[in-house]
Structure 1
Amino acid sequence: MNLISLFDDRKFLKTLFKLALPIVLQNLILSSLNLVDTVIIGGLGEYAIASVGIANQYFFLLNLVLFGIVSGSSIFTAQFYGDNDIPNIKRVLGLSIITSGIAALIFSIVGFFFNTQILSIFSTDKLVIAMGSEYLRIIVFSYVITAVTFSYSFTLRSIGQVKLPMIISTIALAVNTILNYLLVYGYLGMPKLGTNGSAIATLIARIVELVLMLTVVYSKKLIIAAKFRELLDLSLDFIKNFFKVTAPVILNESMWSLGVSMYAVVYARMGTEVIAATNISATIERLTWVIFMGLGSACAVMIGNKIGEGDENEAFLLAKRFIILCPALSTLAGMIIFFTSGWTLSVYKVSPTVYNYAHNVLMVFSIFLVTKVVNYVSIIGIFRSGGDTKFCLILDTGGVWLIGVPLVFLGGLILKLPIHLVYVLVYVEEVVKLMFCIPRIFSKKWINNLTVKS
């Protein structure tokens, strides 16, 4: 396999673009509007950015738990779709909704009643905690709604219907941005609510998103337009088989997100300016990451479908192609960030110190982007699509808790290193993980056919 044969395969490229492009556009719109939201809130000052940032750190934990559930479900959905097993796709959707809904409800209850205690973990600044607590008490009402939308959206992606989630997210996020602008500053007769206005705007946008999703899915009678009895037609064996594969994914995302949250705890102890800088840089990082989220999602669907069809040789060939494609695209993206980050950061109304912190952090991100992308596509796109979830759990959890967290605590709290050097220590984890990912791909041990009849 070489670059020439990779790009000579028109069927591969056509399928890749068909699946990846709508996902990239969806995530690009999401990240762009998040960037706009951050800029809007940024007009209220650094404390506003920091308060919303730490409140969203709590959602970040839930988001990754939900991602673990829906991506674990997608492993089955992609393979069942390759096997043309529609009833089991609906059963998987039902389990995804139930599991993610319960997780979101727990996060909502805890976030509503213990918001101050939660945010005290991520900041020591009383004003930041107070502002963030008010924001969190509002935004938690969107969590269960988000969980249901996630389940339908990821199921659609897994069966190759990627345009619909993109269109719906575009509409909902446009609503979010417009309402953000109006409610934060009180334009067009709206009340001036500050950061709370941003929370209300997000809640309304999530409701719009779910209503649109359900309306289109059931009015057009798509494959996943399941009735309640089809969603709940679950045998004990089916449930056991589902959680045997998805439980490691859920645990993986949960433990990884907790580990990453420990980074935020360290940043909080480094000062409010560091919190603001990392929140700003994180928004720009997510904007860059959209391409590779699309790439990873397309990889998972394509490989999962082939394994479900019983064509393991083609699945392995696809894995090699993606591993060739990743470094090329991520190197280009890293160079763009490296040379344009100064211009991008100029839109924020922050102090020179926050600007310099954010700029240095983005320099580190651009340098290590290649390593991070290869690991991401390997774990999310290749190993999980083949049902190799236990290996992913060990690699991801071991990386963050045995390498990343200890190094970040050492660098940030004991050695008192500047934030960009602490960021370098974060990426040591990625370098170590890469040493295990590549051999695993070529071992073919990750290929497992999970399609079952029930």
Structure 2
Amino acid sequence: MKLFKDKIFFKSMLAIALPIALQNLITSSVNMVDTLMISSLGQTSIAAVGLANQFFFFYILITFGINSGSSIFIAQYWGKKDIPSIRKVLGLAVSLSSLVGVIFTAVALVFPQLIMRILIDEPEVIRIGSDYLRIVSISYIPTAISFAFSVALRTTGKPKIPMKISAISFVTNTVFNYIFIFGKLGLPAMGVKGAALGTLISRFIEIGVTLYAVYSTKGVLAANIKELLSWNKDFVKRYLKTTYPVILAEAAWSLGQVMYSIAYAKLGEEATAAVQITNTIQNIFFVLVRGLANACTVMIGSKIGSGDEDEAFEYAKNFMVLSIILGLVLGTIQATTPNLTLKLFSGLDQSLYEVSRKLLIIMGMTFIIRVFNSTGIVGVLRGGGDTTFGMIIDIGSVWIVGVPLAFIGAMLLDIPVYMVYAIVSIEELIKVIVIIPRIISKKWIKNIT
């Protein structure tokens, strides 16, 4: 195949994808270590932290939508080497992300129990989750700012910087969590509250290191306040015209994932804990996928920005082929090694272990279609500027197909959580059917700058 002979493509792709994949591996490892530590406290604690983090998941994906939208502009401006416009986009992304962070922080601080009651009807899970949520929510705003700079660094050819920062965050989070959860260095054991405090401290360290890395090197993103706030009304309108579908899609999609969690919680505390454990494991498998999708966004956006639309289409085909190969390999590994991966978690009773094992097998069997869709929507369609179509696919499949199927499976059929997950995966199949002809049509190629 021509794909495997294109050394320039592979060199560019690996230079972007590998650091991003490593960064995501480190970030996912943070969640893995948190879950490993919390698993020793029992399934109630696992369920509480998992559900409390659904609120953070909803928030961070809205932030991801804002910055994913900004990366479309930054990638094309980077292709034109338009530094002032890159700084303008970054400033707008930081401002919007921080505004959303203020809202979510306020809600979590004031109404943590209400949030938990919406997610599950288990008093002890609600109590533990509320304590966790109240503390960890203070980290939301610095997390948003760090994320905005991280995305901009990756998009402007500096993916190694956020990777190194994530490594620092991983170490600090692991150390502080261990100290506070189990009461080391003479401190009292805080359990789940300790996990929240450890995460909070590591997030503030992360933003400090991020800003130091950006401004000490005086690179492309080292903008002053005036440059970051130099956007005007017309620029904001043009920015939102392209990015609002991405933001809306991420918000609607992530809210859909929260609804899935609510549906799974209807099956009980054990099902909730099993989903938390298996999602943590699947996130480790997904790190290469995120690297591939982000590399796709940057490379396609840069090609379109420089006017080379034919090459952008060739890149799209290459990335979709790679997504199939990657999805098949990783999915097979995940489906055939559940006993190995679950050995990492201590204190799981036999019933929870068995449900988690079956859930991992189903996740592995459906992994290939999730990889294909992630690369197609986040990589090709968004990288090409076709954000509205991507929004329609995401929102339509989740809310018309996925969410109704989740509640039908959990509340009407009352089937095990792994079977509910299998039924919900039908929405991913529908995405595949829609994405393929759209990519072939080339209608997704839009020069937005």
**TM-score by structure 2 length?**
0.99
The equivalent residue for 2:442 is: 444
Following superposition, the deviation at residue 133 of structure 1 comes to 0.3
CA distance in 1, matches of 2:137, 2:340: 34
Q: Which runs of 5+ in 1 are unaligned?
A: none
1:244 aligns with 2:241: yes
| Contact 2:116–2:130 under 8 Å retained in 1 | yes
Q: Is the 8 A contact 2:29 2:170 kept in 1?
A: no
What's the CA shift for 1:32? 1.9
For 1:386, the aligned partner's letter is: G
Partner of 2:26: 29
CA deviation digits over 1:380-401, x for unaligned, max 9?
0010011111101111000000
Q: Given the alignment of the two structures, is residue 111 of structure 1 paired with residue 108 of structure 2, yes or no?
A: yes
Note the 1:145-160 alignment, pairs <5 A: 145-160=142-157
Q: Within 5 A, what are the aligned runs for 1:332-343?
A: 332-343=329-340
Task: Return structure 1 stretches of 4+ with deviation > 2 angstroms.
Answer: none
Q: Residue 366 of structure 1 aligns with which residue?
A: 364
Please report how far the alpha carbon of residue 121 of structure 1 lies from its aligned counterpart in structure 2 after TM superposition.
1.3
Letter in 1 for 2:181: V
Q: Secondary structure at the match of 1:189?
A: coil
Instruction: Encode CA deviations 1:274-311: one digit per residue, 9 max, x unaligned.
Output: 01000000000101000100000000000010011010
Q: Which of 379, 390, 394 lines up with 1:392 in the alignment?
A: 390
| 1:432 counterpart residue number | 430
Which of 280, 286, 289 is the matching residue for 1:289?
A: 286
Deviation at 1:99, TM superposition (A): 0.5
Instruction: State the alpha-carbon separation in 2 of the partners of residues 166 and 191 from structure 1.
Output: 33
Q: In structure 1, what is the Cα distance between the partners aligned to 2:116 and 2:191?
A: 19
One-letter amino acid of the structure 1 residue matched with residue 229 of structure 2: L
1:85 partner letter: D
Q: Distance in 1 between matches of 2:141 and 2:26?
A: 22
Give 1:304-323 correspondences, 5 Å limit. Answer: 304-323=301-320
Residue 213 (structure 2) aligns with: 216
Deviation at 1:338, TM superposition (A): 1.4
Residue 50 of structure 1 corresponds to: 47
Q: Which runs of 5+ in 2 are unaligned?
A: none
Aligned partner letter, 1:377: T
Q: Does 1:6 align with 2:3?
A: yes
Structure 2 residue corresponding to 1:59, chosen from 34, 56, 59: 56
The CA distance in 1 between the partners of 2:45 and 2:409, in whole Å, is 27
**Residue-pair matches, total:** 448
Amino acid at match of 1:242: Y
Q: Does 1:78 align with 2:75?
A: yes
Q: Residue type of the partner of 1:62?
A: Y
- Residue 405 of structure 1: which of 391, 403, 406 is its match? 403
Tell me the C-alpha RMSD between the 2 structures. Answer: 0.8
Q: Percent identity?
A: 46
Partner Cα separation in structure 2 for residue 246 and residue 52 of structure 1: 31
> What is the alpha-carbon distance in structure 1 between the residues aligned to residue 31 and residue 420 of structure 2?
25
For each residue in 1:60-80, what CA deviation from the matched residue of structure 2 results, as whole angstroms up to 9, or x when unmatched? Answer: 100110110000110000000
Q: Distance in 1 between matches of 2:51 and 2:257?
A: 13
Contact 2:401 2:427 in 1 (8 A): yes
Task: Supply the distance in 2 between the matched residues of 1:259 and 1:35 (Cα, whole angstroms).
Answer: 23
Does the 8 Å CA contact 2:25/2:287 hold for their aligned counterparts?
yes
The amino acid that maps onto 1:317 is E
Asked if residue 192 in structure 1 is aligned to residue 197 in structure 2, the reply is no
Counterpart check, 1:96 vs 2:96: no
